[in-house]
Structure 1
């Protein structure tokens, strides 16, 4: 296994090098495009001002109304069996069964299993508020498990034989305190690969969730700039589908579809450098017959994670309260969730 780990690190490092080179080229192209755009913008200012003046007496047609921005995405249904990984102080689990979004109002608390990597004693030492939260969860009927390794879920005796509709890991982090950024990124990439490999073995079986093709709505200059769900075509970098938007849906309430994996991260450096979508869709290939390859996933959708809709949820760092602070995940950017299902290899 040590040799396999070294080969995996080598494959990831090579992947990182290729990604950095690609990012440099992309950055140079963006700079050139921005310069060109600025010149065009300056040339059109006079014309735009003139049009604005002449349109003052014209009533706005099709203007965005207050509160017309898209609703936050709730990626769960009341019937889902949900497994939460790396829960920290368990406040997210509590937000799903107490003052939960209306979409989950009828979900039985017993459908939820919340886990933490730490032992119970370690958890309460790190997060003093966790003990009261765990007590509340247990009273409501939520299963709470400690000492659960997110990269070896199928080996945990308390999870064996169970299948899940949703396996969720919000703000995963290896928590090894590695100062060197490249090594830190590598450590977290290996953790993500381990999680994806393990989760595949306990996901609910069934047909993959599907997409319906819908025309992309043209946005006016006064529309809210936020686009809650990124079109799958854009996420998958498929230029041929650039003018189309895909809507996520399950075929029928009576059809048991395949389970999905949801990973939420701050969409800002260094987390973007983990390159989670690429790791899931195209994991590094090991030239070792003794180690099975990582499963390949399909990216179903990506959407903004709105912390405020999960009442009482507070993100906590892996190091806990001892780390002096309440665990912000980075400056700028936004919280974003990526949802994956296992790729149907028969279509390859």
Structure 2
């Protein structure tokens, strides 16, 4: 026992000397325990990374290829967007709900979003409001503004956007997870089909975009999506890359990835088929018209019933564009 105590005493003395010299000891300099074996520091950092919201609630937002409308519903309900146009390929609400039976609730949420819920922690809300009076008044003004959200059916991005979707010009155009569906089982052909889809989208989006507006495309990371070369396609269309950031589905409560072909049945017969696209790593790319200065993005706070965040969500922008 005496030898063990001596070793512990020597260890403590060595740590004390390191701290006096400004060097970390066996724990890090802040006194935090060492990470568990096998832990990936980059992965741990991403777990706590603040999400980037690429729009302001006051922006006129155009959503392309909205699928089951769950993303649009989240923007209307949780982000308090009041000037939102969501487009779908389906020609009617009936066709949409036949493809995505759960879309009826999202459809209502887009056009008639409920009032934002009050925080359970009134003390913390009041403290935040006292420190941020301008934001509080701005939020109150948004909630009092008339709701202009609407849904436009039968929009095919391989064709020019109809005036009902593109007028007045939107300041943000978002296309989440574009995909042509199962055109081919050949990877190269499938890549070409999706590249053709994006080329058409960029061309038509550029014509509709307001000065300084941004176009945002979100794709899954890894192949085959990296083979699409979305940045080069956008450049050839007359757009330039502003930045990119990691897409975090959790920033959009209620959002679930919808497949192009509709709801997939699982073996049990239930909808979903085990597909959880919102859990896959994805990245959003922000483009602006060449020569334009992009409109600024302010603080967009997600109303999830928890204490509101104080700062603008930061991105992990790519600097190598």
Task: Tell me, yes or no, if structure 1 residue 138 matches structure 2 residue 111.
Answer: yes
Task: Tell me, yes or no, if structure 1 residue 274 matches structure 2 residue 228.
Answer: yes
- Helix, strand or coil at the partner of 1:321: coil
Where does residue 20 of structure 1 map in the other structure?
none
Separation in 2 of the partners of 1:169 and 1:161? 18
Match of 1:116 among 84, 88, 110: 88
Q: How many residues align?
A: 221
Where does residue 344 of structure 1 map in the other structure?
291
Separation in 2 of the partners of 1:305 and 1:298? 20
Task: Tell me, yes or no, if structure 1 residue 309 matches structure 2 residue 278.
Answer: no
Structure 1 residues 79 and 328: CA distance shift in structure 2, 3 A = same
1:149 Cα offset (Å): 1.2
Separation in 2 of the partners of 1:319 and 1:119? 15
Structure 1 residues 76 and 161: CA distance shift in structure 2, 3 A = closer
Structure 1 residues 61 and 136: CA distance shift in structure 2, 3 A = closer
1:330 Cα offset (Å): 9.8
- Helix, strand or coil at the partner of 2:217: strand
RMSD, aligned CA:
3.0
Where does residue 299 of structure 2 map in the other structure?
none
Match of 1:96 among 75, 85, 91: 75
Q: 1:229-266 CA distances to partner (integer Å, 9 max, x unpaired)?
A: xxxxxxxxxxxxxxxxxxxxxxxxxxxxx111000010
In structure 2, the gaps of 5 or more residues are 1-13, 19-23, 34-43, 114-146, 267-272, 293-321
Structure 1 residues 58 and 307: CA distance shift in structure 2, 3 A = closer
Q: Is the 8 A contact 1:171 1:265 kept in 2?
A: yes
Structure 1 residues 93 and 145: CA distance shift in structure 2, 3 A = same
- Helix, strand or coil at the partner of 2:112: helix
Structure 1 runs, 4 residues or longer, greater than 3 Å off: 61-64, 66-70, 326-332
Instruction: Report which of the two structures shows the higher radius of gyration computed on alpha carbons.
Output: 2
- Helix, strand or coil at the partner of 2:242: strand
In structure 1, the gaps of 5 or more residues are 1-49, 206-257, 284-294
Match of 2:190 among 184, 194, 207: 184
Where does residue 237 of structure 1 map in the other structure?
none
- Helix, strand or coil at the partner of 1:318: coil
Structure 1 residues 299 and 122: CA distance shift in structure 2, 3 A = same
Q: Is the 8 A contact 2:256 2:277 kept in 1?
A: no
Separation in 2 of the partners of 1:175 and 1:72? 28
Q: Is the 8 A contact 1:268 1:330 kept in 2?
A: no
Separation in 2 of the partners of 1:280 and 1:56? 50
Structure 1 residues 199 and 57: CA distance shift in structure 2, 3 A = closer
